Chains A and B, each alone.
Chain A
Amino acid sequence: MLDISNLSASIEDKKILKNFNLKIRNGEVHAIMGPNGSGKSTLANILSGRKGYKIEGKVLYEGKDLLNIPIEERAQKGIFLAFQYPTEIPGVNTNNFLKTSLNAVRKFRDLKELDSLDFLKLVKEKSKNLKIEEKILSRQLNVGFSGGEKKKNEILQMTILEPKLAILDETDSGLDIDALRIVSDGVNALRNKNRSFLIITHYQRLLDYIKPDFVHVLVNGKIVKTGSSDLAQELEKDGYEGVATAR
């Protein structure tokens, strides 16, 4: 599904990713862990198409050169980024945003656009599973949402847009234990043999709920260690430094 080879990225001459390599196959869940400033979010940004980076290397998504595809087309082709800091858009109704987005994606996938009635039915069902209060969905997008509400809203969007590759950028930060469980259940419900996940996190906590197939440790723009989900436990015990130097 995703094949990253020798990816380097820099902002204003500051190198953030250095010859980064990663392969994600269909249905796999990969976790990327690493200290602050190790390049985790940069990776998420580059995959989703955020501008401002000088990029070298190659990224293939479903066999095609991802880096030349416009941002919206990446989304339509199934790449979803759950934002670390979801953006507030005043005046735009959350439900309306979601519907517009879903229909843009459905149109690209040659599916019939949903009318308001069908959409509301869908969103009602999905938001119930995530324990999102309906009244939140009629508020302005992310405006005045609590940290937890914002993150749940990201997962709701993911659930509705049914991506092929979901990138979760520190979705667990700012969540309390209950919300963490709900969000994890939401992610787990979406796991299947075709859908892949790239989960970016600081803490092993999230990985207690979402069991990854692979854990990668990212330090200074490079993967220094790859292992199974046990590696996350190790990290919790020894810290990033311990794992990085024990290499």
Chain B
Amino acid sequence: MKQEELRESKEYKYGFTTEIESIRAPKGLNEEVIKFISNIKKEPQWMLEWRLKAFNRLKSLKEPNWQKPKYPKIDYQNLYYYSAPKSASNKQKNLSEVDPKLIETYKKLGIPLQEQKRLSGIAVDAVFDSVSVATTFKAELTKKGIIFCPISEAIRNHPELVKKYLGSVIPITDHYFATLNSAVFTDGSFVYIPEGVRCPMELSTYFRINASETGQFERTLIIADKDSYVSYLEGCTAPMRDENQLHAANVELVALDNAEIKYSTVQNWYPGDKNGKGGIYNFVTKRGACRGKNSKISWTQVETGSAITWKYPSCILQGDNSVGEFYSIAITNNYQKADTGTKMIHLGKNTKSKIISKGISAGFADNTYRGLVKINSKASNARNYTQCDSLLMGNNCGAHTIPYIENKNSTANIEHEATTSKISEEQLFYCNQRGLNQEEAVSLIVNGFCKEVLQQLPMEFAVEAQKLVGISLEGSVG
């Protein structure tokens, strides 16, 4: 038994729980709970109204069920929508005042928050269940006019920006989970890069789910004003539990004229055990608007965790000459399921999009790429290149590629390539004969398969991601 526990922890080393006293909203989804959230976050009246409007809309919406991975019905009345450590009240404290237990938790996760040990060149916003507990390098960023803070704080301190952009990319009426998020979202990051500023460091948010029976409703909003640049990265982990927990996030990006946003995700939520028990339902809406001319939004995602991953980080290419990119690695092992891809909506002239998707499936897992490339009638000279590669390990897993193409403009140039392959015995034997064991060999081959995507990650994270790719597939080859 003990050995089994050790094995498990080797497979998912972030599965611990922090014992900490927390404040929770009463269980259930209703107006009272929404008022509770808004109140505890000291939100202005307009924000509460916005949430209630979303909640009203939600009542008329149905949960979608067109996706490939099916799941048991979620009892939304049996969830907590707000949970936060007692020590982290609504106002973020100085780092020196943050509960040592929280500092310790992030240290264990490899994210040092203390002044002297901070990751150099990376500013971190640490979100624990429903609140942000710390943000580093705030002062340095403020000097350049950059705003990087929890979204709860932005709602109070920068209402003009939040009012203008929140819900402008993902309307509160969008779809079931997006609307649910709009009603009950708790925390996430807010980023504003002023005109002409190139953000001097990587910005990152680390999401941690800790409390049980709690949903996490992250909300992130990033605005890159004219001629600005920002690179942002998010990481996620959660404890090992037998229950399935819901993480339903909304992430909105807005790029104005000549601005560029690079958004990277390393998603490592608890995937459930070998038999598919437990794990996070990662149902996320991510959308970026290339609103200005020559703007660019680039999504990179490494999805290794979660019981079910269901998300399509998308780009609305509104500005002329704007560029959208999507680089994705989705790894599913054991009984994990993924239905992920992107939407590239070409509206402006000379818009370009590129999609590189690498799906890896092992064990009894099922991995679907689903993507839409849509060219509007006015989007002349639009170009898209899509490449979807699937790698299968073993005979019990599945890989599916479902590309949708809607073209209303005859000047468009759309390319789609897809491959499916298996790791061959021959390749494994070759690696073994050079002294690599089975797991090292698989890691090397899979990392090679994913290289084009891994290269897109910021340097500091690429090495970690490579290791993660190897670990996620441990035990997948007999």
Contacts and interface: CB of A to CB of B under 8 A. Distances in A.
Given A71-B429, A100-B440, A104-B440, A90 B448 contact: yes
A111 B386 CA distance: 45
B450 A72 contact: no
Interface string A100-137: 11001100100000000000000000000000000000
B435 A91 contact: no
Contacts of B141: none
B444 A104 contact: no
A128 to B, nearest CB: 22
Nearest to B424: A87
28 contacts: A48-B433, A51-B425, A70-B432, A70-B437, A71-B429, A71-B432, A72-B432, A72-B433, A72-B437, A75-B432, A75-B433, A76-B435, A83-B433, A86-B430, A87-B424, A87-B426, A89-B427, A91-B449, A91-B451, A92-B445, A92-B447, A97-B434, A100-B436, A100-B440, A101-B435, A104-B434, A104-B436, A161-B435
B434 A157 contact: yes
Interface of A: 48-51, 70-72, 74-76, 80-81, 83, 86-87, 89-93, 96-97, 100-101, 104-105, 108, 140-141, 157, 161
Contacts of B432: 49, 70-72, 75
Nearest to B426: A87
B470 to A, nearest CB: 11
B433 A71 contact: yes
Nearest to A98: B434
Contacts of A104: 434-437, 440
Given A72-B436, A101-B435, A104-B435, 19 more contacts: A48-B433, A71-B432, A72-B432, A75-B432, A75-B434, A76-B435, A81-B433, A86-B430, A87-B424, A87-B429, A89-B431, A89-B444, A89-B448, A90-B448, A91-B445, A92-B444, A104-B437, A141-B448, A157-B434
A70 B448 CA distance: 24
Nearest to B448: A91
Contacts of A70: 432, 437
Nearest to A89: B427
Nearest to A87: B430
Contacts of A93: 448
Interface of B: 424-427, 429-438, 440, 444-445, 447-452
A80 B450 CA distance: 29
A205 to B, nearest CB: 26
Given A71-B429, A87-B430, A89-B427, A105 B435 contact: yes
B349 to A, nearest CB: 35
Q: Which 7 A-B pairs have the closest CB atoms?
A: A91-B448, A92-B448, A101-B434, A71-B432, A75-B435, A87-B430, A104-B435
A87 B445 CA distance: 12
Nearest to B421: A90
Contacts, number: 76
A111 B349 CA distance: 59
Given A91-B450, A91-B451, A92-B445, A101 B429 contact: no
Contact of A100 (B425, B444, B452): B444
Contacts of A91: 445, 447-452
Contact of A97 (B424, B425, B444, B449): B444
A101 B445 contact: no
Contact of B427 (A48, A50, A80, A87): A87
Nearest to A108: B435
Nearest to A50: B429
A49, A75, A80, A86: most-surrounded residue (chain B CB, <10 A): A75
Contacts of B447: 91-92
Nearest to A52: B425
A93 B450 CA distance: 12
Contacts of B425: 51
Nearest to A143: B448
A97 B445 CA distance: 10
A81 B430 CA distance: 9
A48 B448 CA distance: 25
Nearest to B423: A89
Nearest to A142: B430
Contacts of B434: 75, 97, 101, 104-105, 157, 161
A89 B426 CA distance: 10
Contact of A89 (B440, B445, B452): B445
A49 B445 contact: no
A166 to B, nearest CB: 12
A41 to B, nearest CB: 13
A161 B434 CA distance: 8
A139 B309 CA distance: 34
A100 B431 CA distance: 10
A92 B426 CA distance: 15
B301 to A, nearest CB: 18
B282 to A, nearest CB: 26
Contacts of A49: 432-433
Contacts of B426: 87
Contacts of B440: 100, 104
Nearest to B432: A71
Contact of B448 (A105, A108, A140): A140
B445 A83 contact: no
Nearest to A104: B435
Contacts of A87: 424, 426-427, 429-430
A161 B436 CA distance: 13
Contacts of A92: 444-445, 447-448
Nearest to A78: B435
Contacts of A71: 429, 432-433
A90 B426 CA distance: 13
A141 B447 CA distance: 13
A141 B451 CA distance: 13
B147 to A, nearest CB: 39
Nearest to A91: B448
A97 to B, nearest CB: 7
Given A72-B435, A76-B435, A100-B440, A90 B430 contact: no
Nearest to B434: A101
A50 B444 CA distance: 20
Contacts of A97: 434, 444
Contacts of B452: 91
Contact of B430 (A83, A96, A100, A161): A83
